[in-house]
Amino acid sequence: MVEIARYGRKGEMGSKSLMVTTVLLCSLAIAACGGNQDKKSNNKKGEVAQSGVPSRDPFPSTYQPYMSEVTLIKGATILTATGEQIEDGSILLADGKISAVGTAKDVKTPKDARVIDAAGKWVTPGIIDIHSHLGVYPSPGNASTADGNELTNPNTAEVWAEHSVWPQDPGFTRALAGGITSLQILPGSGNLFGGRTVTLKNVPARSVQDMKFPSAPYGLKMACGENPKRVYASRGPATRMANFSHYRKAWIDAAEYNKKWKKYEAGLEKSNGEGDDKANAPKRDLKLETLAGVLNGEIVVNMHCYRADEMVQVLDMAKEFGYKVSAFHHAVEAFKVADYLAENEVCAAIWADWWGFKLEAYDSVRENAALVHAQEGGCTIVHSDDPTGIQRLNQEAGKAMADGQRIGLDISEKEAIAWITANPAKVMGVLEQTGTLEEGKMADIVLWSRNPFSVYAKAEKVFIDGALMFDRSVPSLSPRTDFEIGQQENGYVGGAGQ
Amino acid sequence: MINTKNFFFKTAKAEKSNPVSSGNPVSFGNMRSGVGKLAIMASLLTASSLMTGMTTITRAAAQTVAVMDGQVHTVTGSIIEGGDIIIRDGKITEVGANLSAPAGATIIDATGKFVTPGIIAPHSTLGLSEVGAVADSNDTRPNNNFPLGASLDAADGFNPASSLIAINRAGGVTRAVSVPSAGGSLFGGQSILVDLTGKNNSLIKRSVSQSVLIGGGGTGRAGGTKLGVWAILRETLAEAQTYANNPAGYRQLSSDGRYKVSDLAALRPVIEGRQPLLVSVDRAADIRNVIRLKNDYGLKIVIVSGREAWREARALAAANIPVILDPLANLPSDFDTIGSTLKNAAFLNQAGVVIGFYGPQSGTHNLRLLPQLAGNAVAEGLPYDAALKALTLNPAKIYGIDTDLGTIEVGKIADIVVWDGDPLEITTRVSDVVINGVAQSLDNRQQHLLERYKDLDRGDKPHPFRGGN
């Protein structure tokens, strides 16, 4: 893997080596092509280590890249999401990875490579949605399938979204046709602590483990404001001040829990694993285990928060307890505190223009994304929170870019593409693997019919780890879920791209 | 539909929003609690509903405006390069190339720009709702146990001062039909046509349509089945017919008092085939039943949502039934919408069905996104000129106002929008709006918020001193 822990903004990446490395040819005949090299955990499912220290990964990813062939996409306009736009560019996919990217003359065509002439077309990294409820609020939506909000307690940090994800949600296929290659699924926002999020690769699968993004950290969904106080109006927290008291009490408990386990683990280390360790292990508490994971920096905080003043309060709370908030989601008022967010290195995950459905979404400006981006160190993410919106994140980013340009901000496609690729990847902790078009990264790639910041642009081909998972021109390369197969006459409906 | 973006959070899926319902009747938080207020309004209702039928669509506007040198899409089948439009006293008086601006005219330079008729939103709640989840600002829908339905009149709740009007005007929307949503009844009530000047006289026409829930949204109001929906619907229409035959003698004929006279009176223009009935329906089988209903009762029907309408495209064209649809709806949200497809608009248009657009996802707050919906329909095979028609002329046709609105033609009311690029493109924005022949301000609340916060420097005074009034 090459360098790049940095994400593309304002061209700061500068020039980049475009050397073609030795390409391990991966022909169609080699079935094991592109194995699961990223798998970190060796835990078997449900295994508890001998020491009594619980597994950090009891439901490990079993995702494996699908079969791919060496492919050269040639002559396209390439947005790398590192701040570069390459005209007449080529990108080489081999062994599930990006093997080379550069101008057409710099990228050599390996023998036996499949060559796609992409003149007039555009290439971007696979689109990443940091905020989706696909699978937990699937289609069809009814009492049988609504599994996204555990509204039984304001703190349900113990629930994990992956245990609700229905891999057969047709929404995944529609998102794929919109270029989505990775996405974070979150619990809903009815609770202060909604539970753990899960990051998926957008591949059709039989189990959610088969979709889990290898080595992606867990996230914690938290929520500010109106939703929790409305849901718990009769039981409490019924006010914003009670929201905060509940958060803080939980962090105090989590710190205590953390201390106990740290002491136990230190003891284990000291005794070199001898003695009756398991008997002395503190009792596990799934709720506090998740919160302790945040305090230890292992779990990423995604906080649903609309109002500017609440975001500022949340950041003070994070300082009080020593954890980091990585992104405010639905941050409709981010533009009011864009400087403060940048100083605190928090991303604002937002819609381009949705507003007014509740009071905390009333103060909206269409320039929100651009104003956040324009701050020195500002980080904009465009998200969907919606099974229709996720199909067109490119359009949402395009609108937000255009609105920024109109107030004189210097934002072009090569920067705005990061709002739906590199920036969400950074927050989701997968930027080293995906989110930009750089040598060595997963070949998560979208070939667009034209400039993706156009209403007329279509994702023509979508590659995930180099495997062609969607091809608009080939009906057999349009996955259809179990729910939709065989329903009525399916000529025009029921699959990706329909 | 109160607002389509799932107000609060995803409790039950509200991805498919039934246009006349608020979605799940057992949704969280009682969004509507203004029973007392509505009851008072209801008592005023009989009087107000007698005043329906204001037909004056325009108002005198003593202004001469010249839109010069644009690419004029007249929506009559022609595109005039370097086209000029002369507007006098609210009406279009000349359209062509190389015209001269009259002396003293307000000149709008459209050089290098696109010019279209104003966008008409055929299905919205404009002026009825300011903030979806704030009950006192939301008059779109009564509680589920509220007894009246068809007689409810959007005119009684319309607020021309709503901030949504200026915001959507700045996005090129010049007219909207505002449709109340059904509470406990299958019927939503009477819609209004408004212009987006935001003036006190912007309510242009009352009682332009009635609405009813036939599909999934109706079953919860009819004992839980579609059988119940159809039984209630037929019974109601029969009762409305009885009432219409002899309004004065109706009380004597009425056997059990289940029907409110005000509701039956409101259904009279519907049963007489004079007023469009907006039918919210998705499943192809239900749509076939709706076509039969139209023929049996001689109704004027408009389908709203119509996810599977494409399956009955030819029958709908033959029955002259327009469809107001969401071109982005492609998920099987429930068992009425298995056949959802992005091709719906293209297939219906190809069969000759008059289509219009609405956006349950973005809702009335974002009627300004209607061009984006149209652009997506074009990307899925709808011809460009058909998409432009669906934004302008078709809504005018659906509501019978196309002799006055919907195209750029001599004699029509001058609702004109100038765009800085292809109007269907997401990166395009509006540069000028003319309504009733008067150049409009594009100023709005969001613009003031932007002015206030685009510079975050602490300054000499706090931010509330900035950004105008």
Q: What is the pLDDT of residue B2?
A: 35
Residue, of A49 and A250, whose pLDDT is higher? A250
Q: How far apart are CA B326 and CA A410, in angstroms?
A: 34
Amino acid letter, B39: A
Residue A25 — very low, low, confident or very high, per pLDDT cuts 50/70/90?
A: very low
Does residue A133 belong to the interface with chain B, where contact is any CB pair within 8 Å? yes
CATH of residue B215's domain is 3.20.20.140
Q: What is the pLDDT of residue B255?
A: 57
pLDDT at A402 exceeding the cut of 60: yes
Residue A492 — very low, low, confident or very high, per pLDDT cuts 50/70/90?
A: low
Amino acid letter, A1: M
Which residues form the domain of B240?
A: 35-59+119-405
Q: How far apart are CA B220 and CA A374, in angstroms?
A: 49
pLDDT at B102 exceeding the cut of 60: yes
Q: What percent of chain A has pLDDT over 90?
A: 83
**Partner-chain contact A140 B363, CB within 8 Å:** no
Say if B401 falls within a structural domain: yes
- Give me the helix-helix angle, B344-351 and B384-391, nearest 10°: 90
Query: Average pLDDT over chain B, rounded to whole?
Result: 88
Q: What is the pLDDT of residue B112?
A: 97
pLDDT at B189 exceeding the cut of 60: yes
pLDDT at A83 exceeding the cut of 70: yes
Say if B84 falls within a structural domain: no
Residue, of A357 and B16, whose pLDDT is higher? A357
Say if B446 falls within a structural domain: no
Q: What is the pLDDT of residue A302?
A: 98
Q: What is the pLDDT of residue A491?
A: 65
Mean pLDDT of A313-318: 98
Say if B111 falls within a structural domain: no
Residue B397 — very low, low, confident or very high, per pLDDT cuts 50/70/90?
A: very high
Q: What is the pLDDT of residue B45?
A: 35
pLDDT at A268 exceeding the cut of 90: no
Chosen for mutation from B24, B426, B448 (greatest number of chain A CBs closer than 10 Å) is: B426
Q: How far apart are CA B438 and CA A102, in angstroms?
A: 53
Mean pLDDT of B401-420: 98
Does residue B323 belong to the interface with chain A, where contact is any CB pair within 8 Å? no
Say if B419 falls within a structural domain: no
Domain count along chain B: 1
- Choose among A74, A84, A110: nearest CA to A95: A110
Say if B12 falls within a structural domain: no
pLDDT at A300 exceeding the cut of 50: yes
Tally C-beta pairs within 8 A across A and B. 194
Q: Is A119 helix (H, G, I), strand (E, B) or coil?
A: coil
pLDDT at B27 exceeding the cut of 50: no
Residue, of B21 and B441, whose pLDDT is higher? B441
Q: What is the pLDDT of residue A475?
A: 87
Contact list, A451 vs chain B (CB under 8 Å): none
Q: What is the dihedral of CA A375, A377, A379, A380, to 10 degrees?
A: 30
Q: What is the pLDDT of residue A316?
A: 98
Q: How far apart are CA A189 and CA A199, in angstroms?
A: 17
- Choose among B121, B169, B118, B112: nearest CA to B422: B112
Residue B186 — very low, low, confident or very high, per pLDDT cuts 50/70/90?
A: very high
**Partner-chain contact A455 B5, CB within 8 Å:** no
- Choose among B362, B7, B132: nearest CA to A190: B7
Residue A296 — very low, low, confident or very high, per pLDDT cuts 50/70/90?
A: very high
Query: Among A32-36, A161-165, A199-203, which is the least confidently predicted range?
Result: A32-36
Beta strands in A39-168 (DSSP E): 71-79, 85-94, 97-103, 114-117, 122-125, 127-132
Q: What is the pLDDT of residue A50?
A: 52
Using one digit for the tens of pLDDT, what is the confidence trace for B42-68?
333 333 333 333 444 545 456 899 999
Query: Average pLDDT over chain A, rounded to whole?
Result: 90
Say if B334 falls within a structural domain: yes
Q: What is the pLDDT of residue B32?
A: 33
Q: What is the pLDDT of residue A276?
A: 56
B199 vs chain A: nearest CA distance in angstroms?
A: 22
Say if B297 falls within a structural domain: yes
Contact list, A355 vs chain B (CB under 8 Å): 365-366
Q: How far apart are CA B416 and CA A24, in angstroms?
A: 60
**Partner-chain contact B332 A483, CB within 8 Å:** yes
pLDDT at B14 exceeding the cut of 90: no
Q: What is the pLDDT of residue B258?
A: 78
pLDDT at A279 exceeding the cut of 80: no
Q: What is the pLDDT of residue B254?
A: 56
Up-side HSE of residue A410: CA atoms within 13 Å toward CB? 5
Q: What is the pLDDT of residue B46?
A: 34
Are B210 and B189 in contact by the 8 Å Cβ rule? The answer is yes
Alpha helices in B246-339 (DSSP H): 250-253, 261-271, 284-297, 313-318
